[in-house]
Structure 1
Amino acid sequence: MTELKLRILFDDAMLGPGKAELLERIRETGSISAAGRGMGMSYKRAWLLVEEMNAAFTLPLIQSARGGPGGGGAHLTDAGEEVLTRYRRVVEAARAAAREDIAALEAMLRVPPDMSDGK
């Protein structure tokens, strides 16, 4: 399966598939640690990425509350939802614009020996 992965490099920030997935998983789970675990990353790494994203944008993308008797949690802010939506739109537009050229490049690839005999 051919896949297009896109990283947007700003002057002092980067947004790519990993951070977008982390945002999605935080939205789904309501937890930074659960989102990180679901991606196979440590809690510390997930927190560092959250802090990096919150620092990069004018408004925080993720809001979190400490655990305790009432429990903790995290959610995307309105800015976080907008950043994720716009990133997904950019990726889809790039995918649509590149579809023909990607197919042509894929057709030019050498077929691995173990796949050329029908196995």
Structure 2
Amino acid sequence: MAMAQRLKLKIQLYCGTEIAMGPGKADLLDAIAREGSISGAARTMDMSYRRAWLLTDAMNRCWGEPLVETAPGSAKGGGARVTPYGQAVLGHYRALQAKVHGTSDCADYAALAKAMLPEPRISQKS
């Protein structure tokens, strides 16, 4: 059974050679906001704490203000929160995603989907 043709459009915003925002980082911000910590967000996304921390650090280094603020763990708690600036960046990114995903109704998208084969041809190189 052949799969229907599909095009996947992914938005990645670059700061130099670093990805400042993309689908995974946006999902991580959502998870941090929901869980209140980087470690909790990492667990819900099935990623290591180190990976989540590195992605968060990259985001914080790429924008005019930090997207995530952290507080060290202690008897008073600790954790992380998405800053108001981070919420604004995330909101703009999600709005841009919605606009791009809405392009699937356009003629260009339909033309590309029609021109694409259901499966790649077998390579002629051996």
TM-score, normalising length from structure 1? 0.80
5+ long unaligned stretches in structure 1: 113-119
- Give the aligned partner of residue 97 of structure 2: 91
- Give the aligned partner of residue 53 of structure 2: 47
TM-fit CA distance, 1:12: 4.8
TM-fit CA distance, 1:99: 3.2
Q: Does 1:78 align with 2:88?
A: no
The 8 Å contact of residues 103 and 109 in structure 2, kept in 1 or not, is answered as: no
TM-score, normalising length from structure 2? 0.76
- Give the aligned partner of residue 113 of structure 2: 106
- Give the aligned partner of residue 11 of structure 1: 16
Identical-pair percentage: 40
Classify 1:79/1:12 alpha carbon distance in 2 versus 1 (closer, same or farther; 3 Å): farther
Q: What secondary structure is seen at the aligned counterpart in 2 of 1:67?
A: strand
In structure 2, C-alpha distance between the alignment counterparts of 1:61 and 1:28, rounded to whole Å: 14
Match of 1:32, as an amino acid?
A: I
User: Going by fraction, where is helix more abundant, 1 or 2?
Assistant: 1
User: Going by fraction, where is strand more abundant, 1 or 2?
Assistant: 2
Match of 2:70, as an amino acid?
A: S
5+ long unaligned stretches in structure 2: 1-5, 120-126
Q: CA RMSD in A?
A: 2.0
